[in-house]
Amino acid sequence: MLKRTLFFGNPYHISSGLNQMKLTDKSSGEERSVPVEDLGFVVFEHPQITFTQGIMRLLAENKVAVIFCDKKYHPSSVLLHLDGNLLQTKRFRSQVEASEPLKKNLWQQTVKQKLSNQAALLQANSRDGEALLYKVRQVKSGDSTKEEAKGASIYWKRLFGSGFTRERFGEAPNALLNYGYAILRAATARALSGSGLHPTLGIHHKNQFNSFCLADDIMEPYRPYVDQLVLDLTEEYGRVNELNKDFKAHLLGVLSMDVALEEKRSPLMVALSLTTASLAGCLDGSRRKIKYPEFAC
């Protein structure tokens, strides 16, 4: 079942009752309710949103990822359920005990699929992706020759023009990319938690200040789906770097995009769960390949 995403850009008071999220609009006083079991993500953006402990507990019990935004209205943190899977302890142990050769092999798979999906996106938008397809064949264990980084220097210039540089605080459309990736990162962390894996224990990313190293690893082949949404916006509105309500809604749509995984199509949110479940299998030795989507526009 595809879970819903709720976005709160206005001041609400949010409480619970009979397994429902009860919403009271602070401006109009209007009240309505939503079944919590239907929710996958809740995004709190407005600084005057208030909520009860009861609703936060109910969201956690139903494994709903709660995303909080900072004063610039960008996603800044995510609240996840700590007990996401019955095999959680066993799977945490498999992560801790994973050998370096295994992690390097999993990262090789990840980089190859990311480059392949980037090439497919370029070709789907009448851009040359052959150079990236060549790099897919060059990726070695652990990406020791840095093909991912080499591919990025080609990819971004072909996607948004020779003058574009992908930077966190760079010029347009970097702000749109940042927002979309933050949503994708939270969704990946939720899927990892649901598969009994700890999002901190990465297979490649190792920054000691990063609480979502594994999410940053596993989201890589999914990034082109955000890139496609941003490209759509830039082609319609030009190079924009300010996020309005409509742009945010468009980028939140990444969670429901249809993706192809093993010749079947499913919403990206569902595909992420299949990917993280397959990763758990790789880590415990029951399978050898991660299930990643193949980009198709």
pLDDT, position 84: 57
Closest CA to 118 of 166, 60, 169: 166
3-state secondary structure 259-272: EEECCEEEEHHHHH
Spatial distance between the Cα atoms of 141 and 242, rounded to a whole number of angstroms: 39
Q: In 89-103, which positions are buried (b, 16+ CB within 10 angstroms) versus exposed (e)?
A: eebbebbeebeeebb
Tokens 């370096």 -> residue? 100
Q: Residue 156: what pLDDT?
A: 98
Predicted confidence at residue 45, as pLDDT, reads 92
pTM here?
Answer: 0.89
- In this prediction, residue 1 carries a pLDDT of 62
Q: How confident is the chain (297 residues) per 10-residue block, as mean pLDDT? A: 86 95 96 95 94 95 90 83 69 94 98 98 97 97 97 97 93 95 94 89 86 94 98 94 91 95 92 96 96 90
The CA-based angle 21-24-27, given to 5 degrees, is: 150
**Quick check: 7 and 43 in contact, CB under 8 A?**
yes
Q: Domains of the chain by range and CATH?
A: 4-79 (3.100.10.20), 88-284 (1.20.120.920)
pLDDT at residue number 82: 67
Do the beta carbons of residue 296 and residue 118 sit within 8 Å?
no
Interacting residues of 15 by C-beta distance below 8 A, sequence separation 6+: 22, 24, 51, 52, 54, 55
Give the pLDDT confidence score for residue 86 in this predicted structure.
Answer: 60
Query: Residues 227, 129: contact at Cβ < 8 Å?
Result: no
| pLDDT for the residue numbered 73 | 82
Q: Which residues contact 137 (CB under 8 A, 6 or more apart)?
A: none
Q: How many CB atoms lie within 10 A of CB 288?
A: 12
C-alpha–C-alpha distance, residues 180 and 290, integer Å: 23
